[in-house]
Structure 1
Amino acid sequence: MEHVSDEPISQLIRSARRHRQLSQYTLARELATVAGKPTVTRDLVARWERGHQIPRHGSRQWLSVVLHIPQDRLDAAAAASRRRARLGHAVVTNNAPVKPGPTRRAQGTPALLPVFRSRVQAGILAATLLNPHRSFSLSELAEHAGGSLASVDKESRMLEVAGILTNRVDGTIRLMRAADGNPMIAPLTELIKATYGVPQIVGEEFGRIPGVARIVLGGTWAERFAGIPGAPAESLEILLALAPGQPEDHDPIDVAARRTQTRLKCHVHVAARPLEARLDYLQIPRQRRGQPVVEVAPVRPRQRPATGMPWPDGRTVLAKMIDSGQLDLVSGPAANSRPFMELAGRHLDAAEQLLGTSPPSAFLLLSHAAQLIASGLLAHQGLRTAVGASDHLAGDAVTAQFGHQFSQVELLRQRSAELKNPTSRDSRVTDDEVKTYLTTVRSLLSVAHNVTSTLGTFIQR
C-alpha cells in the first residue's frame, strides 16, 4: 500500500530551514539566486510557512535544491496541505495569524488574550520575555511574531518606551531584549507564558523526547490562538506523532506532561501515535471535527541530560522555590549547561592571569565564575532563576542540593559586592586571597562536571 504523507508543506519548509539555520530572509535570497527570480521574497516564504499559500511545482523544485529535501517529499507535503484544506482543518503554525473567517477576529484583536494590542505585540513579548537572557534582531522578532518588519519595529519601539524592552546596536542591527529591573516584567511574563508562550514551552518539553517527529495542539486553546473568540482554555490537548519504528514510551511523555503542567499551570492531555498513519485530528484528546489545530516545532535540546541518577536531598527546597515563583522550569537551549561551564572556565583562566597585577579584578571574575557554575547546574536540570529573584537564590539552590562546599558561591557573591565599592575599607583584596579562591572555584567546577554526567531533569513529585 502506498504511504500517504500527512506532513504539511508549511511545517516541512520551516523545519528544514531551521535545520539549515537559515532565516526567512536568507532562504528567500538563496531561492531568488538559484532560481533567477527576484520575486522570491521573505514575505512569500512567510506565507508558505504560515500555510497561507502552497508553493507551486516550480518553487518546490528550487526548495528541494536549497533545503536539501527530495522533490517527492515536498510534493507529498503539498498534497497533504491540500487535503487538510478540503477537510476544513485550519492549521496554524508558530504565532502566525490565521486568515479571519466568519467566526474569527481580525489580526488586530487577539482572541487568546484581548488585552494585547495585536498578535504581533503578543508574539514579540512571547519571544523576549520567555528568553530574558537573549537579544533578538527585528527580523528574528518578525519571524516569531508572524508580522512585517515595519509592524515589529513599531511595536518594539512602543514596548521600549514603556520600559518593557531595551535595545542595543550591533553594527547596523538593532537588538531587542527584555528590560531588567522593571516590576511589570514578572507578572507580564506569567500572562505570556499561559497564552502566546504555550507553543514554545510545549515544543521544548515534548521536543526532548526521542522519536517525537511532530507535535499538534488542539482543543479550545487552538481556537483562541487561531483568533476564534470564546472562553479561555482550561486545558491543553496535545497529539504526538512518533517517528517510524519508535516505540511508545510513557515515562518521558508523562515527565514532559508534568513539567508542562507546572510551567503553564493548566491540565495537559496527551495522546501519541505512529507517524506512518494518516493524522486524524479526531484522535487529539477532546478534539472536535473542524476545530483548528496548531503545529508546534519540537525544540531539541543541544545537550540532553542523563536521567539515571535521582535528585539529591535538596529536591524539597527546589520544589518550594518553584512553587514560590523564584525558580522557573526551562527546556530547549536554555537547559544547556555547557555554555555556563565553558565561560566559568575562561573566567578562571583570566583570573589566574590577573594575579599580581589586579587582584580585585581577578576576584570579581572568580565570583562570576562561581555564579555561572551554579546557574549551569540549575540549567542542566531544566531550571533557571526567575526574573526579579534574589541574587543569592542560585547559590542557595545548589548548596541545598550538592552540599556545603557550594556555600562558597554565596560567600564569593557577598565578598564581590564589597569590592564593587572602591572607597570601602573592605574593597582591598590580596593575591593570597585570590589564589585561595581560585583553587576553591576550580574545585567547584570539577564537581559540577562530575555531577552533570549523571544528573537528570528536575521533576516535582
Structure 2
Amino acid sequence: MESNGPVTIAELIRKAREARGLSQTRLAKELATMSGRHTINRDLISHWERGAQVPRAETRQWLSVFFDLPRERFEEAAALSRRRMKTGNAVVAHNAPTKPGAVRRAQGTPELLPVLRSRVQAGVLAAVLLNPDRWFSLSELGETAGAALASVDKEVQLLETAGIVSGRTEGTMRLYHASHLGPGLAPLVQLLRLSYGVPQVIGEEFGSVRGACRLIVGGAWAQRFAGVPGPAPDSIDLVVVTELGRPADQDELNLAAGRAELRLKRPVRWHLSGIETDRTLTMPAHWDGEPIVEVRMVGPVGTVRGREDFAAGRAAILQLLESGQLTLTNGPDARSEPALELAEQHVIAAEQIATDAPQSAHLLLAEAGELIATGLLAQQGLRVDPTAHPNTAGNAVTAQFGHQYSHVVQLRERSTALHVPANRLSADEARISTGTVRALLVEARSRSSRLPLFDAKSDSTA
C-alpha cells in the first residue's frame, strides 16, 4: 500500500482495507475472528474510517498483524488522528509525541498558555474570543478544544455564568459566542491571540499568497503546541510550501509576514519549499525529530464559490438589508469605479507620505479601504445606510469575498486607535498597510467588473 506521507488512522485503515479488496463488513468479521472481540462490527469499522473514533492500542496491534503493516505506522496514525481532533485549524503533522508522559495529558495545563486551567478551557476561549462575530455549536467547540461534549458543556456553562460567552437556542441546538468584549477581557484576548491564535493569524495572512499551497510551522511554537514543555516562543518559524512550477510572490509573502508580525507581536520567519508530493517536502535541518504543525490556509473566496461559502455571504447581506444597515440602489449609483478611483488617489497620497508621516498615511489608507468596500457594494446595487455600524461595509464584503477584505475593518479600527495621543504608528507598519491596500485595490478592480446586481429574491450565484 503506497502512502505519500503521514496519514490519520482513518485513512490508513481505509486504504489498507481497499488494497485488500475487503468491504467494511468483511473486515469486521475477519478482525472479530482473529482477535476474539466479537464487538467489532461494520459500524465500528465505519466509525474508525470516518475519524469519529481511534481504535484502542490492543486493536491497533491486531490491525497491524492483519494488514501485515508495521505497528509503528498505526501508532503514528493514531497520534496524528488525536491531534487532528484536538487542534481545530492546526494539526501536528510530524513527530507528534506518542510515549506516555512525553506530554501532559489532554486535560492538563496547556503548554502554550500555562496560566489557563486546561486545554479544554483554552480551546473554548480561543474559539469564541478570537472569533467574536461567530456562533459555535457545542460540537464545533468540542472539535476545537479536542474534548468530549460533556467537558466542553461544563466549561461553556462556567463561561456563560461569568458573562464571557452568551448562548441562544435554534431549534434543538444551543449556540454560543463571545459576549461584549469589555476592557477587562482585552488582555486575555491578546494573550490568546499570541498563543492559540497563531494558526488563525498565519492561515489568514498567508492563505491568499499566490502560489502557496501549504503552511507548516515548526520551532518552539510547534513544540509548545504539541505539548512539549519549554519557554514561550519568541518568534514563529514558518515554511511556505509552493506548488511545483508556480513560485510564490515574494512581495506578497513579505507583506503577509509583516501583517502577521503586527498581529502576533513577534517576528515571523518564513522559508520557501517547493513540493510535488509529500515525499519531496524539505524541512529545515534543525527541525529534525521535532514536532511540526500544519496550518489550514484561509484563502480568498474566488469568483466560482462553493455552495456553503455563497450561502454564508448571501445570508450576511440579507441580514444587513433586513436590519436596515444596507439598502438597495440602482442606476448611476450602482457603479464601483467612482469609489475605487478615489481609493486609488488615497493610496497614491499615502505612498508619498508613508515614511515622513506614517500616521497620516494610515488614515488615508483606512479611508481607501472603506472606499474599496463601498465600491464593491455599490457595484451590486448595495449602499451602506448613514446610520449603520462603522464596520458594516467591511464586514459585508468580508462575508461575501473572503478574509482578505477583513483588512478594511482592521485598518479602520487601527486608525480609530490612533486618535489616542499615546498610540503611535511606525513607518514600517504604514508601509505594510500601503502594500496591503494596494493589493486589495487591484483585487477589487478585477472582481468588480464581474459583479451583478444583488438580487434579494434569487438564490443563484454570481
TM range (shorter): 0.5 to 0.7
Deviation at 1:323, TM superposition (A): 10
| 3-state secondary structure, aligned to 2:240 | strand
What letter matches 2:407 in structure 1? L
**Hey, what's the Cα distance between the residues in 2 that align with 1:267 and 1:121?**
27
**Hey, what's the Cα distance between the residues in 2 that align with 1:274 and 1:3?**
22
Cα deviation code 1:241-283 (max 9, x no counterpart): 22233224322222221211111111111122122255588x5
What letter matches 1:134 in structure 2? R
Deviation at 1:111, TM superposition (A): 1.0
**CA RMSD of the aligned region, Å?**
5.2
User: In structure 2, do the counterparts of structure 1 residues 151 and 323 end up closer, same or farther at CA, with 3 Å as the change threshold?
Assistant: farther
| 3-state secondary structure, aligned to 2:51 | helix
2:267 pairs with 1:267: yes
Contact persistence 2:215–2:296 (CA under 8 A): yes
Cα deviation code 1:217-250 (max 9, x no counterpart): 1111111111111111111111122223322432
Other-structure match for 1:179: 179
Contact persistence 1:136–1:175 (CA under 8 A): yes
What letter matches 1:211 in structure 2? G
What pairs with 1:53-452 in structure 2 (closer than 5 Å)?
Answer: 82=73, 85=76, 92-93=83-84, 94-95=87-88, 101-107=100-106, 108-276=108-276, 278=278, 283-285=282-284, 287-303=286-302, 311-313=347-349, 320=359, 341=377, 366-368=386-388, 372-373=392-393, 381-383=405-407, 385=409, 452=444
What letter matches 1:232 in structure 2? A
User: In structure 2, do the counterparts of structure 1 residues 132 and 321 end up closer, same or farther at CA, with 3 Å as the change threshold?
Assistant: farther
**Hey, what's the Cα distance between the residues in 2 that align with 1:165 and 1:275?**
42
What letter matches 1:186 in structure 2? A
Other-structure match for 1:37: 43
**Hey, what's the Cα distance between the residues in 2 that align with 1:10 and 1:345?**
50
Other-structure match for 1:333: none
What pairs with 1:22-33 in structure 2 (closer than 5 Å)?
Answer: none
What letter matches 1:135 in structure 2? W
What letter matches 2:392 in structure 1? L
Identical counterparts, % of pairs: 31
What letter matches 2:272 in structure 1? A
**Hey, what's the Cα distance between the residues in 1 that align with 2:153 and 2:379?**
33
What letter matches 1:299 in structure 2? V
**Hey, what's the Cα distance between the residues in 1 that align with 2:273 and 2:201?**
21
Q: Which runs of 5+ in 1 are unaligned?
A: 14-34, 58-74, 328-335, 349-364, 396-447, 456-461
Deviation at 1:376, TM superposition (A): 5.2
Other-structure match for 1:69: none
**Hey, what's the Cα distance between the residues in 2 that align with 1:104 and 1:322?**
48
Cα deviation code 1:1-41 (max 9, x no counterpart): x997235347989xxxxxxxxxxxxxxxxxxxxx9626644
User: In structure 2, do the counterparts of structure 1 residues 289 and 39 end up closer, same or farther at CA, with 3 Å as the change threshold?
Assistant: closer
Contact persistence 1:241–1:274 (CA under 8 A): yes
User: In structure 2, do the counterparts of structure 1 residues 343 and 83 end up closer, same or farther at CA, with 3 Å as the change threshold?
Assistant: farther
Number of residue equivalences: 328
TM-score w.r.t. the length of structure 1 is: 0.56
| 3-state secondary structure, aligned to 1:311 | helix
User: In structure 2, do the counterparts of structure 1 residues 320 and 176 end up closer, same or farther at CA, with 3 Å as the change threshold?
Assistant: farther
Contact persistence 1:238–1:285 (CA under 8 A): no
Q: Which runs of 5+ in 2 are unaligned?
A: 13-40, 304-339, 367-371, 420-439, 448-462
Contact persistence 1:237–1:286 (CA under 8 A): no
What letter matches 2:388 in structure 1? H
**Hey, what's the Cα distance between the residues in 2 that align with 1:172 and 1:46?**
22
**Hey, what's the Cα distance between the residues in 1 that align with 2:288 and 2:80?**
8
Deviation at 1:139, TM superposition (A): 1.0
User: In structure 2, do the counterparts of structure 1 residues 392 and 274 end up closer, same or farther at CA, with 3 Å as the change threshold?
Assistant: closer
Cα deviation code 1:409-458 (max 9, x no counterpart): xxxxxxxxxxxxxxxxxxxxxxxxxxxxxxxxxxxxxxx99993269xxx
Q: Which runs of 4+ in 1 moved over 6 A?
A: 10-13, 88-91, 321-324, 388-395, 448-451
Contact persistence 1:90–1:292 (CA under 8 A): no
Contact persistence 1:111–1:224 (CA under 8 A): yes
**Hey, what's the Cα distance between the residues in 2 that align with 1:291 and 1:344?**
50
